[in-house]
Structure 1
Amino acid sequence: MSLEANNTYMHCPHRDEIGGLFLAIVMSIEMTVGLPGNAIALWIFCFRMKLWKPHTLFLLNLVLADFLLIISVPFRIDTHLRNEDWVFGPVWCRINHFMLTVNRSASIAFMTVVALHRYFKVVHPHSCIKRMTTTQAGWLTGLIWISVTSLSIPLLTTNLLRKHNNISLCRSFSAYKEVPPSIMLHYMAFILEFLLPWVLLLYCSVRIAYVLRQRRMDKQKKVRRAIVAVRVISLVFTICFMPGVITGLGAMYIKEFRPTDCTTYTGFTQAFKVCLAFLYLSSTLDPVIYCFSSSMFRDILKSSICHLCFAKKSFRSVSSLSIND
């Protein structure tokens, strides 16, 4: 489909966007914090991690998913600064949305797998999950990547670029009069891949706390860390992904049952765009998950910081001695 010069594909007329500068600033801050945090995490996993376990492999893949976001977000920042005008062409529009969607899906999947792995280790210590090998975990991560990539393929096969007046809008969530089947599949995946893992995470969090209190184990340090790890994952998951799902569902409801209420519909779509800032926040908060979910990662990070501080003190001491001499 070629670029359209009018709004015939929309059931409500397009209005000038609000919050473009706000989103650009927020995403820039998230990038500034998230990039070094994830770079340090990748360095630890690749060069300092000596003993590999299934959960550390899952966390490594969460880091890799975040780098898909880090690569993609600068183009969204540029677009927001241009008042939603996409200047990188239709092909990169599809690829950009594809990478953003794969990041979201993979992040959700690996957060859920890490929490479930903790759940089975604590609540069902004799299950086969506890005896999972690193090789089996590798096969599982491969299956996850294949699944999330397959679900995002519709974004590569659908034209997402639309012309409005003098600007090009690059969106996967547009006000289509008739939603294409491929985009409808994308909508369904967007909602279900949040709701199902969210319910699982809440169940794991409550169930772990309940079982450990029954066993009178909730005071043990190692066990408390497992509880905190699942709760941190649940909190990050809720903060980052729930606002976008709620506003997206609101927009879909208005379109379906009140199609002429363009004012309310536009309000929901604008809110949805602002909530995308929370989605990108996940890459900034994921290093917190690594610290709470892996004692090895936490110990290596502490050791690296101590070595760095010691090196700085040694350098200052040598410099001062040289000056005195």
Structure 2
Amino acid sequence: KGIARLKSSLHGSGPLEGGTGKGFLCLGRETERFLPVVYLTVIPLGLLGNGLGLWHLCTGPRESARQPLSLLVGNLGLADLLYVSTLPFLVSYYRQGRVWIFGQPWCRLTRSLFHLNLYASIGFLSCISIHRYLGIVHPLKARGRCRGAASSVWLSVTVWLWVIAQIAPDLAFSKTDGNGTQCHDTTGQEYLDVYLPYTFAVTVTGFVIPFLIIIGCYCHVVFVLCRNDSVDASLRRRSILLVILVMVLFVICFLPYHIFRNLNLFFRWRPQESCTQTSKDIYVSYQVTRGLASLNSALNPLLYVITSKDWRSRMRTISQSARQCLRPPFRAKTSSQAAEKKRNDILCKGEAFNEL
């Protein structure tokens, strides 16, 4: 048995990171180097981008913050911040050679927040796409229905409840090995007969159906924008940028992950006595797409820029106020001038804080 384990480690095989028992790890230790790099990139970008975006929505004009589109984008930012807050624990896990030291309950919560963020992002992006579709294709019909804050609040609550209902069964599956030192992103080999159909069902309801809805909405939006010259130039530009960003998120972050996640689970479920080259390639691809799926938390803040009319002007005002406050003096001043400068500095800092 000792010789077999030595050969297994030399050839990169071992207990599967996404499960336990009969599975095989066909990747070796590449995951421990790749995923932490991705997570360490997402953490600062996600915290800064989503933090500034939510601050902008909360401190901006009340009328702007109560707009349906702003509420939907704000919920998207909240989902991103929840997920990004768990990434330092995963970085520690992979840096220590897949040794989980934070307990089984936190392992389940950490892994579940990834799927919460994933399907909340898809859900709110779908709502944003439908909102933009109604505003451009059916502006008169949507004017009374889509402009109230109450409708967007109820829609946001519905999306959260639907996402929680989809990922709640995932909490019932074990995420750790027998001694609790590993934290798996799926579940053990013995539960795959149930977990595989569940994952396929969530893929259909949480990804495929919303993706088809988004494609239908944006195809119609682009068709109307190309044929209607009376559409405001700023609205046209922001709508096209929104179409591009959402499609990039789905094609790069969401589509590959769902394909290789289901393929990886299928090859684990299928009886096999060793790690085949096909299984290895699929597992490597699955780990890469997990990293790509995490990047959506760093890309979503671009929605604040695209959907907000006054984002650039507010950021420019904040930048100018900050530069004035931090500008160093180049000549000596009298005591009265120094006192006046101190008062101006306090006012500048207060203005910059209020602008945020």
Structure 1 residue identity aligned to 2:248? L
The aligned counterpart of 1:236 is: 249
The aligned counterpart of 2:315 is: 304
The aligned counterpart of 1:147 is: 162
TM-score of the two chains, using structure 1 as the length reference: 0.86
Q: Distance in 2 between matches of 1:289 and 1:131?
A: 23
The runs of 4+ residues in structure 1 deviating greater than 6 Å are: none
Unaligned runs of 5+ in 2: 1-14, 338-356
Q: Residue 155 of structure 1 contacts residue 183 of structure 1 at CA under 8 Å; is this kept in 2?
A: no
Structure 2 residue identity aligned to 1:251? N
The aligned counterpart of 1:162 is: 177
Q: Distance in 1 between matches of 2:161 and 2:232?
A: 40
Deviates more, 1:29-38 or 1:180-189: 180-189
Q: Residue 106 of structure 1 contacts residue 148 of structure 1 at CA under 8 Å; is this kept in 2?
A: yes
Q: Does 1:200 align with 2:210?
A: no
Q: Distance in 1 between matches of 2:144 and 2:236?
A: 15
Q: Does 1:320 align with 2:333?
A: no
**1:265-289 CA distance string (max 9 Å, x none):** 2331232122211111111111111
1:63-212 → structure 2 map (5 Å cutoff): 63-128=77-142, 131-132=145-146, 133-163=148-178, 168-174=181-187, 176-179=189-192, 181=194, 184-190=197-203, 192-212=205-225
Q: Residue 174 of structure 2 contacts residue 188 of structure 2 at CA under 8 Å; is this kept in 1?
A: no
1:243-322 → structure 2 map (5 Å cutoff): 243-255=256-268, 259=272, 262-263=275-276, 264-295=278-309, 299-313=310-324, 315-316=326-327, 319-322=329-332
Q: Residue 240 of structure 1 contacts residue 282 of structure 1 at CA under 8 Å; is this kept in 2?
A: yes
C-alpha change, 1:60 and 1:49, in structure 2 (3 Å) is farther
**1:145-192 CA distance string (max 9 Å, x none):** 1111121112222221124xx883312324625515366424431454
Structure exhibiting the larger radius of gyration computed from Cα positions: 2
Deviates more, 1:248-257 or 1:41-50: 248-257
Secondary structure (helix, strand or coil) at the match of 1:127 reads helix
**1:199-223 CA distance string (max 9 Å, x none):** 2222222211112323334683322
Q: Does 1:224 align with 2:237?
A: yes
Q: Distance in 2 between matches of 1:282 and 1:35?
A: 12
Q: Distance in 2 between matches of 1:322 and 1:50?
A: 44
C-alpha change, 1:9 and 1:78, in structure 2 (3 Å) is closer
Structure 1 residue identity aligned to 2:304? Y
C-alpha change, 1:161 and 1:180, in structure 2 (3 Å) is farther
Q: Distance in 2 between matches of 1:279 and 1:130?
A: 36
C-alpha change, 1:183 and 1:256, in structure 2 (3 Å) is closer
Q: Distance in 2 between matches of 1:323 and 1:278?
A: 55
